Amino acid sequence: MAQMEDIGMARRGGFWDYLVLGASFILMIAALGLVFLYVPTEETMGVVQRIFYFHVPLAWIGFLAFFVVFLGSVAYLWKRNIAWDNIARSSAEVGIVCITLVLITGPIWAKPVWGAWWTWDARLTASVVLWLTYIAYILVRSLTLEESRGARFASVLGIVGFINVPIVFLAVHLWRTQHPTTLVLKGDLPPTMLSALLVSIAAFTLLYVALLMRSVSLRKLEFEIKRLKELVSD
């Protein structure tokens, strides 16, 4: 009976995964249409400025993912429930991918605008530190032999590492940097650019949710398979 309930829950989970992924795909197509067909080319930077509509949403998803890691880590240390560790670990993996893409798209945008691929200003340096912190999180979680100890160590790192997220976000306001200030918060974006950016952010947010749900589901299956193998070996 319990196995039938697990199968039913897995099917319902799969349905929601595909639903969110489908919605993300539709919004992504809409965002691409807006970025390449609707939004005018920026006068100063030219075509390369269109990276903005992918660079900023990726950074947003990275910050969101690490915030979920923070919440999941706090919840795991409090409840000692492996489900919270699974959520934190899955979210960290998605966040690392997003910040990696941020660190790739940023130099592509910077080279024709700044004349250099990279400068060690406050935001860029803090972004690299953030990326390395969550790489360390995954290594600690994966390489620690004892499951509960690895979850505890990673949770502490997930909590401490999140301190760098607001530093990355506020770096352009706290220090003089080559990186531009946050145009969205200042209200300097024209309506056409703002609408394209918001649709792109919505699309990437749904994609993050779909990837997180799928990763958590796979981890649950891995845990069940491991448990069954232990029962068989006993």
Determine the pLDDT at residue 14: 66
User: 25 in a domain, yes or no?
Assistant: yes
Query: Which pTM was predicted?
Result: 0.86
Q: Which residues of the chain have pLDDT under 70?
A: 1-14, 178, 180-188, 230, 233-234
Pure H helices in the chain: 2-33, 52-79, 82-114, 122-143, 147-161, 164-174, 183-186, 191-233
Task: Report the alpha-carbon distance of residue 174 to residue 124 in Å, rounded.
Answer: 13
Indicate whether 129 belongs to any domain: yes
231 within some domain? no
d(CA 214, CA 202): 18
Give pLDDT tens digits for 33-88.
Answer: 888 888 888 777 888 888 888 999 999 999 999 999 999 999 999 999 989 999 99
CB-based contact 17:210 (threshold 8 Å)? yes
Average pLDDT of the residues of the chain: 84
Strand partners, 160: none
What are 190-199's contacts with CB under 8 Å, separation 24+?
A: 192/38, 192/39, 192/40, 193/39, 195/34, 196/31, 196/34, 196/35, 196/38, 196/39, 196/53, 197/52, 197/53, 197/56, 197/57, 199/27, 199/30, 199/31, 199/34
Radius of gyration over every alpha carbon of the chain, rounded to an integer in angstroms: 20
Give the model's pLDDT for residue 166: 93
pLDDT digits (tens, 9 = 90+) for 45-56: 888 888 888 999
In the prediction, which pLDDT does 34 show? 87
- How many domains does the chain fold into? 1
Q: Quote the CA–CA distance of 231 and 227 in Å, as a whole number.
A: 6
Structural domain range at position 135: 18-213
Record the tokens describing residue 110, joined without a space. Answer: 């910077």
Examine residue 112 and state whether it is found in any structural domain, yes or no: yes
Query: Is residue 12 in a domain?
Result: no
- Residue at 6 is within a domain: no
| Sign of the C-alpha dihedral computed for residues 220, 221, 224 and 225 taken in this order | negative
Q: Does the residue 132 lie in any domain?
A: yes
Whether residue 13 lies inside any domain: the answer is no
Instruction: Select from 55, 50, 35, 61 the least CA-distant residue to 196.
Output: 35
pLDDT at 101: 96
CATH number at residue 134: 1.20.120
